Amino acid sequence: MGKIDARGRSCPQPVMMTKAHVEKGEDEIEVFLDNAISASNVQRYLEKNGYFVRIFDEDGSIIIRASVITEASLPADNTPATQTTDSAALHTPPLPKTVTVSAAPAAARSTTSTAVLITRKGIGGDDSLLGEVLMKGFLGTISQMTPLPSVLALMNEGVKLAMKHTSSLDHLMLLEKKGVRILVCGTCTNHFGVTSDIGAGVISNMFEITEALLASDKILSL
């Protein structure tokens, strides 16, 4: 079993450390973490790469135990699922939400994928009010366009666009509903103290965001 102590490690190191063990072909991986955002990122990475994940809270540490999915590890309905308790019914602290989105309609798909990277609350110069109006208009416009972008990444002040009760949230939620992946930088939300106020997308990390951007054919940066 590959064992990883990622406590005290900043984004995206926990995911990168886990990635190294996955690439070695480890069938079982145990990861020790000390914050819920890192746990959510590692969990999502492992599940994406075919692991069955269980999460435990032991003496203040979050422990992820993962094993490669086999028929024996699947639930009765053969659907992979994250298990959050063991026989001792250990409590797992709440993790940032992972939003399940529907596939984009066929008419909105394209053989060429585009990623949008937003690092600011507004578009343009020194007039912040005008900049925010333009950004809201941009998000509303692309939510009605075809083809849709494949991914929209929010970093730096851009993460504030996904906060609850903001005028831009409805547009982001519509994009998400239409199948656009919305990745919200967890380091940035921590910096601004708004992690619990994020209302759209998933709390992500530098590795996942970079991977998504590089996998796209075109990148639009604002």
Average the pLDDT over 6-10 and give the result: 87
Question: Quick check: 92 pLDDT over 70?
Answer: no
CA nearest neighbour of 15 among 208, 210, 211: 208
Residues of the chain with pLDDT > 90, as a percent, come to 48
Which of 65-69, 136-140, 212-216 has the least mean pLDDT?
Answer: 65-69
Question: Quick check: 88 pLDDT over 90?
Answer: no
Average the pLDDT over 158-166 and give the result: 94
Instruction: Quote the tokens at residue 55.
Output: 């999460």
Q: What is the pLDDT of residue 177?
A: 93
pLDDT of 101-131, one tens digit each?
334 444 344 467 899 999 999 998 788 889 8
Q: What is the pLDDT of residue 61?
A: 83
Instruction: Report H helices in 53-168.
Output: 128-142
- Residue 99: pLDDT band (50, 70, 90) is very low
Question: Quick check: 22 pLDDT over 50?
Answer: yes
Q: What is the pLDDT of residue 202?
A: 92
Instruction: Quote the tokens at residue 129.
Output: 């009010």
Which H helix or E strand runs over 177? helix 169-177
pTM over 0.85: no
Question: Quick check: 81 pLDDT over 80?
Answer: no
pLDDT of 24-49, one tens digit each?
888 899 999 988 888 888 998 999 88
82-113 burial by CB neighbour count: b if 16+ within 10 A, else e?
A: bebeeeeeeebeebbeeeebeebeeeeeeeeb
* Residue 2 or 121, more confident: 121
- Cβ-in-10-Å burial (0-12, 13-18, 19+) of 152 comes to buried
Structural contact between residues 152 and 182, judged by C-beta atoms closer than 8 angstroms: yes
Q: What is the pLDDT of residue 73?
A: 53
Highest mean pLDDT among 17-26, 64-73, 98-107: 17-26
Tokens 């692309």 found at: 142
Question: Quick check: 74 pLDDT over 60?
Answer: no
* Residue 96 or 183, more confident: 183
Mean pLDDT of the chain: 82
Residues 6 or more apart whose Cβ sits within 8 Å of residue 213: 115, 117, 151, 153, 219
> Which domains are assigned to the chain?
2-73 (3.30.110.40), 106-221 (3.40.1260.10)
Beta-carbon-side half-sphere exposure of residue 55 (alpha carbons within 13 Å): 23
